[in-house]
Structure 1
């Protein structure tokens, strides 16, 4: 290698996000994979994020006692080529950075961290749109490009949480401002990009899909014999998810199949509504757990009869894909999906060759019948291992991170792209 190439400083990449490993969320897994991929390419990566929430104590999920995370950086420590810089932030009562006050407690300090911290060659920013707006202003001052993670459209999702036209107009304006200023964006699906175009966002965008962290999610063996058979809903349960359909479906299922449990792992604005519905129906066996790390959740999924996922139709979010499907399949657990959109297409496309589960319309009777079918003919250990192997090979998050890095590097001038060549 010529001396002139050896002496070049590495490409400097900064990722700005209110959430990062070890905080359990799809965005955390994706951003960590992106950081690792840039580091693998020789870049110097800095992550500007928050301090993770405090420990919630021991994990009470079924079949996981005594298990420990296997990755040395699972506690969120820096890893080779990546420096994680954390800053205190306000969190809600459940310990999450969720809500305008909480977002601003991250966004305002972020602005100064960007301006007076290490100057990067390329910035990557994760929603909410307020963080993207801060990034646009800072990037303009620094005269540096940034790439936007169009994981979803917050202004669409907000329509399910508020009816205030003023709030929705302001949020839509902020989201447009944040995304239009980006040199490029990467999105989970072509449907999301089509929706961006509908609302006037013409930023070049690449559909990269989503993947699963194959180090965290894998088949980990059958549940203990003493544990009652269970279904698991893992992830957020907000208004547009419509997770309440599974409360009603489980009630009907339990009439003929007693002794099963329905476990919720995650959080969401519908928690109280779900609990009220449980009380109204007088059913037992439904429990709620706080979010857990990927390795722990993988243990839960590995022992479940099936995982559950839903997307309530006609909520302005029909283009969304339920990424929790990947984690479930990689853990050897089939999925029962209720709703419409690309998740249905995904399950129908693969179910002829692999036992990925079933997809039904957003209908209680159909969902209940899917629970019956899953309980009647559960996958055995060998089938679960084969499902896990296939999903891990096909939907590795590392492959998605490669596409994201390619998308991001494409906005750089040639002289900078050469640094990682």
Structure 2
């Protein structure tokens, strides 16, 4: 007889939706399945355009199982679950779903903090421990997205409530640990890092396009608007290139207006998020990917995780900003042509783009970068670290009901 744990994952986003959180949570499920455990995912109905698609390969053994239970939610104009009403449309039904789901050993919950608060209340009622994933600090982000101090204070209270009730927390970097401690939360935390879903992101040789690609979310905190100015300066010496944004973002209209003002509107493109399997070929053929983090955004402790997917696809990264991504890029660049980190300045970014365009990475070097990323920074390796945290929490709660089955 083999002891099998049952785990639940609660998240407003999951594969096949193309987002870092989806890939991350899928890797946690795969790691649990790999070890023979059962997983119940409580999430949302995917957008109509993605229904029936897979967001990544399953890595578990045939004896394990992942059951994904979906529920319809409100979505914003870009078909994304983002905004207070959208979160509420997930959180309220989640409370009832958690009440009646078959008892798990541990619940793993992904932000927003309102979801964490719901999980804390229901798990307390059912005497189930939960683990909270603090990839970043939502109340810090809110402080830069709204002028309402009341909203920020309320969200800060909810976020602390969600964190303090957790048996453990996971996070992406030591910077987040430090910020959580500043907020007065002493819940045990494990830095699991992040990585690329190498079942999807890998290198396949393709003709290089005159393309720079920004793939992922862009908000005021990221400060991606500076890339429009940088591209215009780059375009003065290197006409014929394109700058493409793929993903959800705020301030798109302002960025379009700026591109028109600078005379590069015809070379700047904005598209909605696409599945990872469709993004990979674009990364394979781009001169470089771009990523930013505004030094004045209050998020200097954040790590720009999109760099992993780019490198796993053999695409070098130009990062402009501050924080642990700079250290990561500088260290990796000492032995591999992974790209470069520059200061958050349009001229510096433009110069890095010129260098990438003048000396594009050849196929063999792109392959070498992709192999290194797959070996050192795979998402499944991150998922296994989270799995270890979940198993430790389950083991520390012997009163929980367990069950066994034949392998």
Q: Do residues 30 (structure 1) and 24 (structure 2) align?
A: yes
Partner of 1:340: 322
Partners of 1:269 and 1:155 in 2: CA distance = 17
Q: Do residues 176 (structure 1) and 160 (structure 2) align?
A: yes
**Of the candidates 362, 365, 371, which is equivalent to residue 389 of structure 1?**
371
Is the contact between residue 213 and residue 244 of structure 2 (CA under 8 Å) also seen in structure 1?
Answer: yes
Map Cα deviations across residues 344-371 of structure 1 (whole Å, 9 max, x no partner). Answer: 1001011010001011111111111000
Partner of 1:216: 200
Map Cα deviations across residues 253-295 of structure 1 (whole Å, 9 max, x no partner). Answer: 1011100000110011121221111122121311111111111
Q: Do residues 286 (structure 1) and 268 (structure 2) align?
A: yes
**Of the candidates 136, 142, 145, which is equivalent to residue 129 of structure 2?**
145
SS at match of 2:394: coil
Map Cα deviations across residues 175-196 of structure 1 (whole Å, 9 max, x no partner). Answer: 0000110000000001100000
SS at match of 1:411: helix
Partners of 1:166 and 1:152 in 2: CA distance = 20
Alpha-carbon deviation of 1:223? 3.0
**Of the candidates 411, 416, 421, which is equivalent to residue 393 of structure 2?**
411
| More divergent stretch after superposition (271-280 vs 95-104) | 271-280
Partner of 1:195: 179
Is the contact between residue 18 and residue 55 of structure 2 (CA under 8 Å) also seen in structure 1?
Answer: no
Partners of 2:176 and 2:254 in 1: CA distance = 29
Map Cα deviations across residues 326-384 of structure 1 (whole Å, 9 max, x no partner). Answer: 00000000000111111110010110100010111111111110000000100011111
**Of the candidates 321, 338, 352, which is equivalent to residue 370 of structure 1?**
352
Is the contact between residue 263 and residue 287 of structure 1 (CA under 8 Å) also seen in structure 2?
Answer: yes
Q: Which runs of 4+ in 1 moved over 3 A?
A: 68-74, 413-420
Partner of 2:71: 87
Partners of 1:388 and 1:157 in 2: CA distance = 32
- The 5 A counterparts of 1:200-349 are 200-223=184-207, 228-283=209-264, 284-349=266-331
Is the contact between residue 73 and residue 79 of structure 1 (CA under 8 Å) also seen in structure 2?
Answer: no
- The 5 A counterparts of 1:131-170 are 131-170=115-154
SS at match of 1:23: coil
Partner of 2:339: 357
Question: Which sections of structure 2, spanning at least 5 residues, go unmatched?
Answer: none
SS at match of 2:141: helix
Map Cα deviations across residues 176-223 of structure 1 (whole Å, 9 max, x no partner). Answer: 000110000000001100000001111100011001111110012223
Is the contact between residue 107 and residue 128 of structure 2 (CA under 8 Å) also seen in structure 1?
Answer: yes
**Of the candidates 36, 43, 53, which is equivalent to residue 42 of structure 1?**
36
TM-score of the superposition, structure 2-length normalised?
A: 0.94
Alpha-carbon deviation of 1:314? 2.5
Alpha-carbon deviation of 1:417? 11
Could you say if the C-alpha distance between residues 376 and 262 of structure 1 is closer, same or farther in structure 2, counting changes exceeding 3 Å? same
Paired residue total? 398
Is the contact between residue 34 and residue 402 of structure 1 (CA under 8 Å) also seen in structure 2?
Answer: yes
Partners of 1:298 and 1:220 in 2: CA distance = 9
Could you say if the C-alpha distance between residues 232 and 115 of structure 1 is closer, same or farther in structure 2, counting changes exceeding 3 Å? same
- Taking only aligned residues, the RMSD between alpha carbons, in angstroms, comes to 2.1
Partner of 1:106: 90
Alpha-carbon deviation of 1:37? 1.1
**Of the candidates 130, 138, 141, which is equivalent to residue 114 of structure 2?**
130
| More divergent stretch after superposition (33-42 vs 241-250) | 33-42
SS at match of 1:269: coil
**Of the candidates 21, 26, 30, which is equivalent to residue 15 of structure 2?**
21
Is the contact between residue 91 and residue 98 of structure 1 (CA under 8 Å) also seen in structure 2?
Answer: yes
TM-score of the superposition, structure 1-length normalised?
A: 0.91
Question: Which sections of structure 1, spanning at least 5 residues, go unmatched?
Answer: 1-5, 58-67
Could you say if the C-alpha distance between residues 205 and 70 of structure 1 is closer, same or farther in structure 2, counting changes exceeding 3 Å? closer
Partners of 1:361 and 1:72 in 2: CA distance = 37
